[in-house]
Amino acid sequence: QVQLVESGGGLVQAGGSLRLSCAASGSISSIQLMGWYRQAPGKQRELVTTITNSGSTNYIDSVKGRFTISRDNAKNTVYLQMNSLKPEDTAVYYCYVLAGTILPSAYWGQGTQVTVSS
């Protein structure tokens, strides 16, 4: 089992920045992948970015060049630095972890609201 606690959401004007944090606890040695999903009102949850244990990253096209995912393995924490925010980035952001050695399972944070005003 992995527990995730998020922080850092809020209200920001377009063009501004926010940084989200997600601290993991529990069976952290089994973590294979960390990332962030988001869900905007009336839309399906979408995978925004992931980072592997080796530090390889992936991003959806709409956030490339604006968002940066990173992780601090000593603190078992993953971050999402969001710059040049746009109103269409408004969503609830969920931390995501894939953990487990034999049959990996997905774990989710509680979600944090990011609202970008125009």
List average pLDDT for each run of 10 residues in the chain, which is 118 residues long. Answer: 94 98 90 95 96 96 98 94 98 95 91 97
Q: Which two tokens stand for residue 71?
A: 């992780």
Contact 76, 25 (CB under 8 A): yes
Query: What is the tens place of the pLDDT at every residue in 47-69?
Result: 999 999 999 999 999 999 999 99
Query: What is the tens place of the pLDDT at every residue in 89-100?
Result: 999 999 999 998
106 CB-near residues (< 8 Å, 6+ apart): 96, 97, 98
Strands 112-117 and 10-13: parallel
Which helix (H) or strand (E) covers residue 35, if one does? strand 31-39
Phi, psi of 28 (to 5 degrees): -70, -20
Q: What pLDDT is stored for residue 1 in this prediction?
A: 87
Q: Which two tokens stand for residue 105?
A: 């399972």
Q: CA–CA separation, 32 vs 57, rounded Å?
A: 13
